Amino acid sequence: MIDLLDKHKTIAERHARMMAMGVNAVGLTNDRILSPTRAMIKGRETILAGTNNYMGITFDADCIKAGQEALAEFGTGTTGSRIANGSYALHKELEAELARFLKRKHCIVFSTGYQANLGMMSGLAGPKDTIFLDADSHSSIYDGCTLSGAKLVRFRHNDAMDLDKRLTRSEGEEGGRLVVVEGIYSMLGDRAPLADFVAVKKKHGFQLLADEAHSFGVLGPHGRGLADEVGLEDDIDFIVGTFSKSVGAIGGFGAGNHPLFETLRYAMRPYMFTASSSPASIATSLAAVKKLAAEPERRDRLRANSARLFAGFKSLGLDMGCDMVSPVIAVKCADEISTIGMWNALLEAGVYVNIALPPGTPNKLFLLRCSVSAAHSFDDIDKIIALFGKVVASRAAA
């Protein structure tokens, strides 16, 4: 008999090496959450610098109150999918609020951000179509492409010229063409050169989807994402986003202006056959989206904090993931062992960051990834910088 789990022995060996070096860096337990930027970990108060809590909204009093009221009024869960019994008035209200926020005619809410990409990719494209996607796209995008059955063509990361060449080669093939880019890429924090991709779109004629998961609420004068920041919203056909970052909840959405957009509800299996989000989660998301619209100062604080951390890391001579300032700030490390060692040292010093290792990183990079929050104080940012400097110096001297 062939043991089905034998193929995972390499994963088990890597994990065992990690555990031998200290704490489980890919499954750390927060014993207690104290605030958007603090938690008790192993009995120690720790600065959280790896949560994607960009707007620092998870402890907002209005959002918590909205969730508590929804829990009392609508119960703990919907116990059904949206096409069965799982559509509540709150779901429709959130979809309408998101559509207004995004300046789109239509919006569909999903139970998770991952499912939003599964649903949108598989609903928009089918076996006769082709999806062109950035090679550094999130796993949920890749999985959505697989689910769609469409032909998949990767182009080099952020390379509109490479996309242009691949589109030229595909001229005359049957089916539609969907191009997928991201507002902020989750590992390195770089942005898509959206204007370059729009120029290619005008040349070739395709439909363009922007995954604004890490840029929704963060970029642009209105917080609508990269397309808002660069003034190209009219050139984006479809938007995907998540509630697990700036909205501080769980869920996701797809939005667009196409007159047939609503038919996707009856074509997307991840939407049709998944229980809808709980009333409490929908209510907190609704309250948070309203705050993103009403409180632009959160974005101002986030930009200032991001610039301060980026500049501090540069002053330490750290090898940065990219040269763009964003709330995602990654530091490159030499190899897996040194990355795990630095991560453990930082945790012992009192700061939590994300560890990112191949195959989950672009170009097989080893990263310590920070995500900045609007809730961080300048003192928090300065302490994170100081602790990185201390850890780097101590390991260089070892």
Q: Please write the tens of the pLDDT for every residue from 66-85.
A: 999 999 999 999 999 999 99
Q: Residue 143 above 80 pLDDT?
A: yes
**Cβ atoms 209, 140 nearer than 8 A:** no
Map residue 50 onto helix, strand or coil. Answer: strand
Instruction: List every span in the chain annotated with CATH 3.90.1150.10.
Output: 7-58+296-397
Distance of CA 311 to the CA centre of its chain: 23
pLDDT score recorded for residue 396 = 53
Distances (CA, A) of 350 to 46, 149, 262, 332: 5, 46, 48, 20
Higher pLDDT, 396 or 312: 312
**DSSP β-bridge partners for residue 114:** none
**DSSP β-bridge partners for residue 181:** 210
> To which H or E segment does residue 94 belong?
helix 89-102
Q: Give one DSSP letter per residue of 73-85, joined into a string.
A: HH-S---SBTTTT
pTM for this model (two decimals)? 0.95
Q: Which residues have CB under 8 Å from 103's CB, separation 6+?
A: 224, 233
Per CATH, domain 7-58+296-397 is 3.90.1150.10: yes
Q: Residue 393 above 90 pLDDT?
A: no
Closest residue by Cα to residue 120 from 156, 86, 85, 148? 148
Q: What is the dihedral of CA 341, 345, 351, 357, to 10 degrees?
A: 0
Q: Please write the tens of the pLDDT for every residue from 258-317.
A: 999 999 999 999 999 999 999 999 999 999 999 999 999 999 999 999 999 999 999 999
For range 375-397, the mean pLDDT:
88
For range 342-356, the mean pLDDT:
96
If you average pLDDT over every residue of the chain, what do you get?
96
Assigned token pair, 238: 């479809």
For range 52-71, the mean pLDDT:
98
Fold category of 61-294 in CATH = Aspartate Aminotransferase; domain 2 (3.40.640)
Instruction: List every span in the chain annotated with CATH 3.40.640.10.
Output: 61-294
Token pair 């300065």 is found at 382
Map residue 221 onto helix, strand or coil. Answer: coil
Token pair 């939005």 is found at 255
Q: Residue 209 above 90 pLDDT?
A: yes
Map residue 115 onto helix, strand or coil. Answer: helix
Q: Please write the tens of the pLDDT for every residue from 146-202.
A: 999 999 999 999 999 999 999 999 998 999 999 999 999 999 999 999 999 999 999
Assigned token pair, 264: 């996707």
**Cβ atoms 24, 18 nearer than 8 A:** yes
